[in-house]
Chains A and B, each alone.
Chain A
């Protein structure tokens, strides 16, 4: 058995979620290889080679792979597939974009967003926004899998000394072109890897009111998130969204402010270790999953919370 894991990277840095995907792969067993695909990826390859337990890092350095376009990346991964029993990626927007394309090229059914590994062929994954858990087994020759990062501890980023090997064969399919990105820049931790997340919902009433949450976030070293309602209303950008179809988070502490707790929001945060809900409606469903609920007007409670934190 041999596993290829696609590295997530951004701006020349290895994304931490890759460590969670490696940790999932290590539970399957067998030799683990990482694929770093991109342009000028030297730093990422170096970081990948240091991850504990990795035998080999394949580096596909090509202009055509610079922006991770699935039309160019999937055929490259297909060309590497003969050596592998499993091909995996974190269930990020990159992994979700390319892996199904790869699976179809290989004529295999993908297993999306796994949260548990029973054995090399059997995996558990959430369905219906996590309201049911499905255990599926695959007899495909190559298992194409995406991994929910929050369901697996991160592998050690140091301690490995994998060989770095270039791979050729990348080409531009000529189907798609990257134009530009509008990325949110923030000094705060990344939402999916933060140990504390404070999120606002429709109850925030206005994007400007998120400044109240940001002040608390800065005191706690937390990331700021939002419910779909808050994103749809234009209070904050899409990358803040926590939920079934947004980001899935599982921090040590999740603070939901002015969020009612729709099923699709709960799907994105209910695996958090401790959940706090602040909402003026004591019937709000969010209180059913909250460890600590405070029924209060958030415009009183949030400033008071900031003061109390000192």
Chain B
């Protein structure tokens, strides 16, 4: 079985984002970029499936500008076998991403697609579900445990009320949540090895997919900052402030 892992290149989670002065978006120039943390968890899970003998090959795919190849190299350094880069604008929408991934699935025939439940830049939480719809496959979203047995997968989902266990048919899309695993770090020798692993490059045109945006970004702004608060000396003062000033208890 092949495992396909879409990986997104996003602003590193430690970076404080800045909105551009012209309100057209956030500043990306000279900003540290990294793999979307949820996608790292997906890569890790794919590697574990291969190490357990459930999967034979892990393919990392990234959609975006040329620099996305760095993100694919990160996945290869973690242990993925090969990469596919699809040239596209950085702000490509989830629906277009899902359509491109559908085309890759048609070429590669993976038994499972593992992907982060959400990207930490646009916070859309859509791509996995959309891909599942386009393929007519089952979806196990927000997974905190995954067990594959033959043509079924057992998924434990993190839901608002707690945990939900479902069983889904394979092939399937599984979108991964934080508690599924702890991703490994790439070792230096593996980073060197990753440079020699195969990485194909394609365009949306090669795959015959229309990726024109459907939404227009009118503007991007900074949220209103909270006014600075005060430090209280002790618990008595705190309770008094909450009772008499804020009137919330």
In the complex, the chain B residue whose C-beta lies closest to that of A97 is B141
Q: Cα distance A140–B133 when bound, in Å?
A: 18
In the complex, the chain A residue whose C-beta lies closest to that of B226 is A289
Which one, A100, A125, A196, A309, contacts B126 given CB within 8 A?
A100
Band of interface residues on B = 35 or more
Tell me if A's interface is mostly helix, strand, loop or mixed.
mixed
Given A175-B168, A184-B162, A239-B160, A293:B11 Cβ within 8 A: no
Minimum distance in angstroms from A280 CB to a CB of chain B:
13
Q: Using an 8 Å CB-CB cutoff, how does the interface string of B208-249 with A read, 1 for contact, 0 for none?
A: 000001111111111100101111101110110110001011
User: In chain A, residues 127-148, which have Cβ atoms closer than 8 Å to a Cβ of chain B?
Assistant: 127-140
Any A CB within 8 A of the CB of B95: yes
Given A175-B169, A238-B179, A293:B232 Cβ within 8 A: yes
Residues of chain A within 8 A of B142, CB atoms compared = 93, 96-97
Q: Using an 8 Å CB-CB cutoff, how does the interface string of A31-71 with B read, 1 for contact, 0 for none?
A: 00000000000000000000000000000000000010111
Any B CB within 8 A of the CB of A301: yes
Residues of chain A within 8 A of B160, CB atoms compared = 92-94, 192, 239, 247
Tell me whether B168 and A293 are in contact (CB under 8 A).
no
Tell me whether A138 and B214 are in contact (CB under 8 A).
yes
Residues of chain A within 8 A of B179, CB atoms compared = 231-232, 238
B120, B121, B142, most chain A CB atoms within 10 A: B120
Minimum distance in angstroms from B9 CB to a CB of chain A:
14
Residues of chain B within 8 A of A273, CB atoms compared = 248
Minimum distance in angstroms from B224 CB to a CB of chain A:
9
A-B pair count, CB < 8 Å, reads 263
A10, A71, A122, most chain B CB atoms within 10 A: A71
Residues of chain A within 8 A of B127, CB atoms compared = 100
Q: Using an 8 Å CB-CB cutoff, how does the interface string of B106-119 with A read, 1 for contact, 0 for none?
A: 00000000000110
Tell me whether A179 and B16 are in contact (CB under 8 A).
no
Minimum distance in angstroms from A308 CB to a CB of chain B:
5
B38, B177, B220, B248, most chain A CB atoms within 10 A: B248
Tell me whether B218 and A137 are in contact (CB under 8 A).
yes
Any A CB within 8 A of the CB of B125: yes
Tell me if B's interface is mostly helix, strand, loop or mixed.
mixed
Of A22-30, A101-109, A156-164, the one with at least 4 CB within 8 A of chain B: A101-109
In the complex, the chain A residue whose C-beta lies closest to that of B134 is A104
Q: Cα distance A288–B138 when bound, in Å?
A: 44
Minimum distance in angstroms from B87 CB to a CB of chain A:
21
Residues of chain A within 8 A of B134, CB atoms compared = 104
Minimum distance in angstroms from B34 CB to a CB of chain A:
14
A93, A118, A178, most chain B CB atoms within 10 A: A93
Tell me whether B231 and A129 are in contact (CB under 8 A).
no
Minimum distance in angstroms from A89 CB to a CB of chain B:
12
Q: Using an 8 Å CB-CB cutoff, how does the interface string of B133-172 with A read, 1 for contact, 0 for none?
A: 1101111111010000000001001111111111111000
A interface residues, tally (CB under 8 Å): 92
Tell me whether B163 and A181 are in contact (CB under 8 A).
yes
Given A127-B220, A274-B248, A293-B232, A238:B130 Cβ within 8 A: no
Residues of chain A within 8 A of B105, CB atoms compared = none
Tell me whether A294 and B235 are in contact (CB under 8 A).
yes
Any A CB within 8 A of the CB of B129: yes
Q: Cα distance A117–B120 when bound, in Å?
A: 23
Which one, B93, B120, B228, contacts A109 given CB within 8 A?
B93
Any A CB within 8 A of the CB of B83: no
9 closest Cβ pairs, A-B complex: A100-B129, A104-B133, A104-B130, A109-B214, A175-B138, A100-B126, A179-B165, A291-B229, A183-B162
- Which B residues lie at the A interface, using CB under 8 A? 11, 13, 16-17, 19, 26, 38, 93-95, 98, 117-118, 120-134, 136-142, 144, 154, 157-169, 177-179, 213-223, 226, 228-232, 234-236, 238-239, 241-242, 246, 248-249
- Which A residues lie at the B interface, using CB under 8 A? 10, 67, 69-71, 74, 92-94, 96-105, 107-113, 118, 122, 125-140, 174-184, 192, 196, 220, 228, 231-232, 237-239, 244-245, 247, 252-253, 263-264, 270, 273-276, 282, 287-296, 301, 304-305, 308-309
